[in-house]
Amino acid sequence: MTVYDFRVKDISGKEVFLSEYSEKLLLIVNTASKCGFTPQYDGLEKLYQKYKNQGLVVLGFPSNQFLAQEPGGEEEISSFCRLNYGVTFPLFSKIDVRGDQMDPLFQYLSDSAPFQGFEMSKESGKKIRAVVEKYYPENLEGNGIKWNFTKFLVGRDGHVMKRFEPTQTPEELEPSIEAALS
Contact 87, 41 (CB under 8 A): yes
Please list the active-site residues.
35
Strand pairing report for 56-62 and 151-154: unpaired
Q: Alpha-carbon distance 100 to 96, whole Å? A: 9
Q: Alpha-carbon distance 24 to 58, whole Å? A: 10
DSSP state of 48: H
